[in-house]
Amino acid sequence: MKPCESPAFAPTATDPYRGLVRVSCIINSIKDYRELLTSLLATTKEVMDCEAGSLMLYNEASDDLTWHVALGEKADKLKEMGHLPMGKGVAGWVAQNRKPALVPDTATDERFFRGADTRTGFQTRSIVCVPLELDGKLVGVLQALNPKRKKGFDERDLEVFEAYGSMAATAIEKIRWQDAMVEQERLRRDLEAAREIQARFLPQSLEHLAEHLQIAFVYQPALQVGGDFYDARRMRDGSIALLFGDVTGKGMPAALLMAQILSEFRHLALAENDPSQILAKLNDALAAQSARGMFATAWCGIARSNGNAVDVVHACAGHPAPLLADGARAFFAETQSGPPIGIAPGLDYPSSRFRLAAGDLAGLFTDGITEGRDPAGNEYGYERLRKLAEAWRGDAKTAADSILADAQRFWNGAPQRDDVTLLLFGPQGRLSTPTAAARDLSHPSRLPQPS
């Protein structure tokens, strides 16, 4: 037999202090939050030898009390009342003033709220009520109603009840802390699983995908796992299909949606040769399956070799346009963007085109770069990125590394909350100075329609 089950420790009406031993056992043995609250109130009701009792917890967000457990006649109706404003009734007065209340006779106490009796049909004669506090923080309110063997509660009852209240507050906070630790561990495991999903689906190298195209990327995950994604696939005709984007949200849901997008893209890259169609079909697939209103911004392009140049047909779904640079100038490509993918089925994504001559580069980026902030709260911004791109000299990896290095100098150690992802590409080979071939870059409309 356990100590708290022994008759020697059983609470009685003549020796209520023995009930404190049982409360101590409850604190050390029960791990479930709801079971703890119910057991605490049941023990209190037994020790105080009363008809009913209730435990209300303080809701800091709404600054009121919520009935969590009620025992005794009409208890279910009492819990249906939901919330009790601070200062209303004896319990509200106790919570607001952080002081216990002894009400030997409710008929003579103006703090008593008769609305609860009217709604439940229960007749309250006497109340003893104490605040539940721990380290100066209000946890809730515990109250006992109507002693069975006498007309009303007295000072001795209040003294015992205050001891119960102190132990009850400790027990509640202990379980809350344990639950918080369990939740923290669950989140840690989810983040590890999400990082594993990202590592498995995001390509580790794109350097040797095509002889005519150089591709470089930077992926620097934040402390919270986000949904940035990038990919490149060789198509049946030797062209390269590129995908880049950012899923809304973080953690496991974002990682799973990112994995779905990349899986769908790798299938579509073998079946479609139009970036507009790829985005449209990605959108339909996500709109049919994604939950919680999640969506993604995305850019899709198909790069085809044209002598020493590369022709790019591309479409955009709410993502920033590619940054184009020829070693002297840098500007954002003219793009007609459609909505993000996954919002609703049946959406269109118009295509545009540009040509990259030898020495030119195109760069894609997520908001982890442009919205990254320095210690003073200033954003890195689009214009700083564009000015930096003016110095690119045709080597994709060097250009990608220069962006990350410049962003890190700007952040100056300030923590960043979002992933940093870059994808740069251009024709193989480089030029030290701009050439006449680069003139086509500033006029994407001059690129002839592919047959």
One-character DSSP codes across 203-270: -S--TTS-SSEEEEEEEE--SS--EEEEEEEE-TTS-EEEEEEEESS-HHHHHHHHHHHHHHHHHHHH
Inter-residue contact 372 to 410 (CB < 8 Å): yes
Task: Answer whether residue 186 is part of any domain.
Answer: no
Tell which of 148, 181, 214 closes a domain.
181
Task: Answer whether residue 197 is part of any domain.
Answer: no
Q: How confident is the model at residue 92 (pLDDT cuts 50, 70, 90)?
A: very high
Say if residue 341 is exposed, middle or buried (CB neighbours under 10 Å; 0-12, 13-18, 19+): buried
| Angle subtended by helix axes 18-29 and 155-201, to nearest 10 | 0
**Spatial CA neighbour of 88 closest among 68, 67, 61:** 67
Backbone φ, ψ for residue 325 (5° rounding):
-145, 145
Judgement on whether residues 276 and 424 belong to the same structural domain of the protein: yes
Percent of the chain clearing pLDDT 70 (strictly above) = 81
Distance in angstroms (rounded) separating the CA atoms of residues 142 and 144: 7
- pLDDT value of residue 384: 96
Judgement on whether residues 239 and 100 belong to the same structural domain of the protein: no
The CATH number of the domain holding residue 96 is: 3.30.450.40
Q: Please say if the pLDDT value at position 402 is more than 90.
A: yes
Judgement on whether residues 137 and 211 belong to the same structural domain of the protein: no
Judgement on whether residues 169 and 227 belong to the same structural domain of the protein: no
Judgement on whether residues 36 and 175 belong to the same structural domain of the protein: yes
Query: pLDDT tens for residues 168-217?
Result: 787 777 777 776 787 777 767 776 766 676 667 777 777 777 778 999 99
Task: Answer whether residue 189 is part of any domain.
Answer: no
What sections of 9-114 are H helices per DSSP? 18-29, 33-48, 75-79, 89-97
**Spatial CA neighbour of 424 closest among 241, 213, 263:** 213
Judgement on whether residues 171 and 221 belong to the same structural domain of the protein: no
The per-residue b/e assignment along 396-428, b for 16 or more CB within 10 angstroms, e otherwise, is: beebbebbeebbeebbeeeebebbbbbbbbbbe
Structure tokens at 84: 């009790």
- pLDDT value of residue 448: 32
Distance in angstroms (rounded) separating the CA atoms of residues 59 and 68: 11
Judgement on whether residues 143 and 283 belong to the same structural domain of the protein: no
- Higher-pLDDT residue of 102 and 3 is 102
Distance in angstroms (rounded) separating the CA atoms of residues 203 and 217: 10
Task: Answer whether residue 188 is part of any domain.
Answer: no
Tell which of 152, 181, 210 closes a domain.
181
The per-residue b/e assignment along 270-299, b for 16 or more CB within 10 angstroms, e otherwise, is: eebbebbbbbbbbbbbbbeebeeebbbbbb
Residue 66 CB coordination number (10 Å): 16
**Spatial CA neighbour of 68 closest among 87, 98, 91:** 91
- pLDDT value of residue 154: 92
Q: How confident is the model at residue 66 (pLDDT cuts 50, 70, 90)?
A: confident
Dihedral angle sign, alpha carbons of residues 14, 17, 21, 23: positive
* Beta-carbon contacts of residue 292 (< 8 Å; ≥ 6 apart): 249, 253
For residue 216, which amino acid is it?
A
- Domain containing 259 equals 202-446
Task: Answer whether residue 241 is part of any domain.
Answer: yes
Judgement on whether residues 150 and 247 belong to the same structural domain of the protein: no
Distance in angstroms (rounded) separating the CA atoms of residues 174 and 396: 55
Question: Which residues share a beta bridge with 373?
Answer: 379
How confident is the prediction for the chain on average, in pLDDT?
82
Distance in angstroms (rounded) separating the CA atoms of residues 243 and 345: 20
Structure tokens at 287: 């709109």
How many domains does the chain fold into? 2
Mean pLDDT of 292-315: 92
The CATH number of the domain holding residue 361 is: 3.60.40.10
Distance in angstroms (rounded) separating the CA atoms of residues 26 and 114: 33
Tell which of 146, 181, 216 closes a domain.
181
Q: Please say if the pLDDT value at position 434 is more than 70.
A: no
The dihedral over CA atoms of 304, 305, 308, 312, expressed in degrees to the nearest 10, equals 0
Task: Answer whether residue 193 is part of any domain.
Answer: no
Distance in angstroms (rounded) separating the CA atoms of residues 196 and 201: 9
Judgement on whether residues 136 and 220 belong to the same structural domain of the protein: no
Backbone φ, ψ for residue 221 (5° rounding):
-70, 145
Is residue 53 within a helix (H) or strand (E), and if so which, with residue range?
strand 50-59
Inter-residue contact 296 to 366 (CB < 8 Å): no
What residue has token string 């495991």?
189
Judgement on whether residues 207 and 85 belong to the same structural domain of the protein: no
* Beta-carbon contacts of residue 308 (< 8 Å; ≥ 6 apart): 357, 358, 427, 429, 437
Task: Answer whether residue 286 is part of any domain.
Answer: yes
Judgement on whether residues 236 and 289 belong to the same structural domain of the protein: yes
Query: pLDDT tens for residues 136-171?
Result: 889 889 999 999 999 999 998 898 888 888 877 877
Q: Please say if the pLDDT value at position 29 is more than 80.
A: no
How distant, in Å, are the alpha carbons of 300, 305, 313, 352 from that of 340?
12, 29, 19, 17
Helix (H, G, I), strand (E, B) or coil at 287: helix
- Higher-pLDDT residue of 346 and 192 is 346
Task: Answer whether residue 68 is part of any domain.
Answer: yes
Judgement on whether residues 170 and 294 belong to the same structural domain of the protein: no
- pLDDT value of residue 28: 65
Q: How confident is the model at residue 53 (pLDDT cuts 50, 70, 90)?
A: confident
